[in-house]
Structure 1
């Protein structure tokens, strides 16, 4: 079953496409914005901005470390640098440059990692950013966002441009179900509760928000009241939303298209353990690389599905 089908969600734009549209639209208003790309602007969707504002777009070639250093230099000169590449190339290849040229000086650089997760499919594990959120969260002062659909991505793009300081925005390749058909209120560090419930809370982000909504629909057919939280910002985390979920529903499942370590599950666990110990379960990639294959098939094989979320939830509810 396709993501979002059980909960009746329509298929919309990929988050990378929504980002590209938003960046171009905002370009006229945010005249200090420049883009720095590693020769993949047609994939990261910075290309429309570059065509509209050619004097504000820089393609440095397939040299991610240099790309980040150039972005840092532009930011130190007063520009808002949007630096984009595949999540794996950006966070893995250029981590030290991000650490020293962006995070340490706290520069106004907006890191954008597209093609994140295993849902990119046939590109294979070398291209799959599966540790990117953990790497970004480990950098002091960097806000980390994982929007779930087109509306939330467009709102997140504006929010990151308004935010003073470094950010990381994680984007996906496949078309995403529409979670917010009427637009999205997006505040960095403030989660959105997309469904109320009292028996258990599903906390998800990115492509796993539709999976969580599908799981909620299946669980409610079995008589369970399910809260679903779109935790679109992993850092700073909305601790108040997590604490409320722990206190009010007593059980939590965290769902993410990321390795088990260092991502949303780790962040939520720290809050739960400190503030209100609660039974908690996790649906994620675990501790493994994936492989090349159909995107939907890979999500199924590695357990990133509504069925896996239902199973995890029922383990806590039984």
Structure 2
């Protein structure tokens, strides 16, 4: 098990060895962004802006405009709030291919609390044109999306937490494509769609449901925008229940994106969005907060049972 952020750093180093145009631009995030090894290895390919996130995005956009492959690394809570105007205008509107890397996304670790939560980023970034949104679930998805980001000439927002994540495996979906979800586990009774670090508890919940004779399909919807609408149409046509699970507000994220597509295309299925409600979030570790809001194997299992009863 390894944190996706560590995989990001290792992949970026491997790419930078072969491509001097790759630059890491950071907002005092070498440590939290796992970029210390990168800076030691490539001192001429890292730019430290300091705690000035708006400048971070502006500088990265300028570098991208000059042909550099800029990876702008900053805590997601600040990157997608303080720097939103720069993301909208300097990056997306101006079509500068900045690789926006939001770290420590979702709920903050330790006692930093709501100021350091990033439970809004899917909602605000999804609303900006010309900006794909990706939340990798494991090392495989992380490595593949960073390779894609380094090769593309378009902007992208990629979101990472800090938790060590198990490998979900590649057997059912050996390829990684932007806008194409990964099938993690087959199932016929209900579908659990996770993104980022919530995919693993979905898989654990599927194991618990199997003990009760329920077959649950598990999907990693790593790309929030553009959505895999082909898969959603297939799921909707079965009329089987769907649960979405995200480390984000229930407003404006994965769940609302999926439900909007389904219902606007006349796929009326039993549906549940699992995420964080519109209230002051409790303080605690990620595990404690997840447990409190039911984003756990048992919590997802119970919601699945409730939905199937209806």
**TM-score, normalised on structure 1?**
0.92
The reply to whether residue 162 of structure 1 matches residue 172 of structure 2 is no
The reply to whether residue 197 of structure 1 matches residue 187 of structure 2 is yes
Alignment partner, residue 127 of structure 1: 116
Q: How far apart in 2 are the matches of 1:135 and 1:247?
A: 30
SS in 1 for 2:252: coil
The reply to whether residue 272 of structure 1 matches residue 262 of structure 2 is yes
Q: Which 5+ residue runs of structure 1 have no aligned equivalent?
A: 1-11
Q: Deviations over 1:52-79 (max 9, x none)?
A: 2211210011100011000010011111
Alignment partner, residue 309 of structure 1: 300
- Counterpart contact for 1:68–1:97, Cα < 8 Å: yes
Given candidates 232, 243, 248, the residue that maps to 1:242 is: 232
Q: Deviations over 1:246-289 (max 9, x none)?
A: 22352100000100111110110111112222121111012134
Given candidates 49, 54, 64, the residue that maps to 1:60 is: 49
Alignment partner, residue 286 of structure 2: 295
- Counterpart contact for 1:198–1:248, Cα < 8 Å: no
Alignment partner, residue 150 of structure 1: 139
- Counterpart contact for 2:108–2:116, Cα < 8 Å: no
Given candidates 140, 159, 182, the residue that maps to 2:129 is: 140
Q: How far apart in 2 are the matches of 1:75 and 1:230?
A: 30
Q: How far apart in 2 are the matches of 1:243 and 1:119?
A: 34
Q: How far apart in 2 are the matches of 1:207 and 1:227?
A: 17
CA RMSD of aligned residues (A): 1.6
The total of aligned residue pairs comes to 307
More off after superposition, 305-314 vs 87-96: 305-314
Given candidates 169, 175, 178, the residue that maps to 1:185 is: 175
Residues 208, 159 of structure 1: alpha-carbon distance in 2 compared, 3 angstrom cutoff = same
Q: How far apart in 1 are the matches of 2:108 and 2:62?
A: 33
Q: CA deviation at 1:190?
A: 0.7
SS in 1 for 2:32: helix
Higher relative contact order (CA closer than 8 Å, sequence separation 6+): 1
Q: Which 5+ residue runs of structure 2 have no aligned equivalent?
A: none
**TM-score, normalised on structure 2?**
0.94
- Counterpart contact for 1:159–1:186, Cα < 8 Å: no
Q: How far apart in 1 are the matches of 2:199 and 2:125?
A: 21
Alignment partner, residue 3 of structure 1: none
Q: How far apart in 1 are the matches of 2:7 and 2:175?
A: 16
SS in 1 for 2:80: helix
SS in 2 for 1:193: strand
The reply to whether residue 286 of structure 1 matches residue 277 of structure 2 is yes
